[in-house]
Homo-oligomer: A and B are copies of this chain.
Amino acid sequence: MAGFSTATTVRRVGDDEYLADLDPLWSIGTKPNGGYLLATMTRAALDVAGPGYPHPGAVSAHFLSAPAAGPVQIRVQPLRQGRSVAQLRTSLYAAGEHCVEALVSCGTLPAAGPARWDGVPAVELPAEEDCLLLPGETPWFPVPLMTVLAQRLDPATAGFTTGRGAGAGEIRAWLRFADGSEPDPLGLLVAADCLPPATFDLDLVGSWVPTLELTVYVRAVPVPGPLRVRLKVRLITEGRVDEQCDVWDNAGTLVATGHQLAALRLPEAPTNATAGAAVAAAD
């Protein structure tokens, strides 16, 4: 199995020009995961930034068009190199089409440890072995991403897998790389965008939630061990949903936070008796 590090490899082919080969395993259906795209692009940005700026700090991406797995081109343009922060513009192209545009701020993260002030209490999860390992297949399409990421869902938020969400708009899970590698700051970009859509907990199962914008703040270098991830719906308006994702390392340090605005496309026909019910009731 190609692990995260191999799957996000970039090869420099010119001044600030890179090639990558997107691994189909890091996909939902046939579409590479947004966090995976972000991590691959950011790896190229870090290479251009150089050893003085080893970690991503803030990465903001707008998704223009979903690339297929396979070869892509990444162009990086340095915007500013400061004392502690470098900022770069990063563009991903597939078959000549501009697919993702991302702005990357990078520098040196603190080691994980107690924050100076923390306003986000750590998520509580049942023991990992009491959580539900998500399979790589769903009733709608395969999710090969679940074969490279081991996601173990808190049973309290896994109701959607049997047709009845809890209605809280929240998914909580333990997360590990399936190949046994440990999380690093680049991996946190994936961690912040890999759980099933939290809309599923509202019985919008089978909806397609393509990301329009994703911003991830990476706050500390995680310690080894499983990550804890909580994804929450904040607001659903007509055709749009925004979600917030917090990621803690195995020591309980909040190491990354992602925010995304996504389109919300309901299934053509309800895929089970409850699909769409929560939204109809909330209208």
Contacts and interface: CB of A to CB of B under 8 A. Distances in A.
Interface of A: 57-58, 60-62, 64-65, 79-80, 85, 87, 89, 98, 101, 103, 105, 110, 114-120, 168-169, 202, 212-213, 215, 217, 219-220, 232-238, 240, 242, 254, 257, 259, 261, 278-279, 282-283
Nearest to A109: B237
B282 A116 contact: yes
Contacts of A219: 235, 237, 240, 242
Contacts of A242: 217, 219, 257
Given A57-B212, A215-B213, A237 B103 contact: no
A119 B235 CA distance: 6
Contacts of A169: 117, 119
Contacts of A236: 115-118
Chain multiplicity (copies): 2
B80 A65 contact: yes
Contact of A60 (B85, B110, B213): B213
13 contacts: A60-B62, A62-B79, A64-B87, A65-B80, A105-B213, A110-B237, A114-B283, A116-B236, A116-B282, A117-B169, A117-B282, A213-B215, A235-B257
B58 A79 contact: no
Contacts of A235: 115, 117-120, 219, 254, 257
B119 A101 contact: no
A229 to B, nearest CB: 16
Contacts of A220: 237
Contacts of A238: 110, 116
A279 B261 CA distance: 33
Greatest chain B CB density within 10 A among A117, A219, A220, A279 is at: A117
A261 B212 contact: no
Contacts of A98: 79-80
A115 B257 CA distance: 24
A76 to B, nearest CB: 13
Contact of A257 (B60, B234, B279): B234
B233 A278 contact: no
B64 A80 contact: yes
Nearest to A198: B119
B217 A57 contact: no
Contacts of A101: 79, 87, 89, 103
Contacts of A119: 168-169, 232-235
Nearest to A116: B236
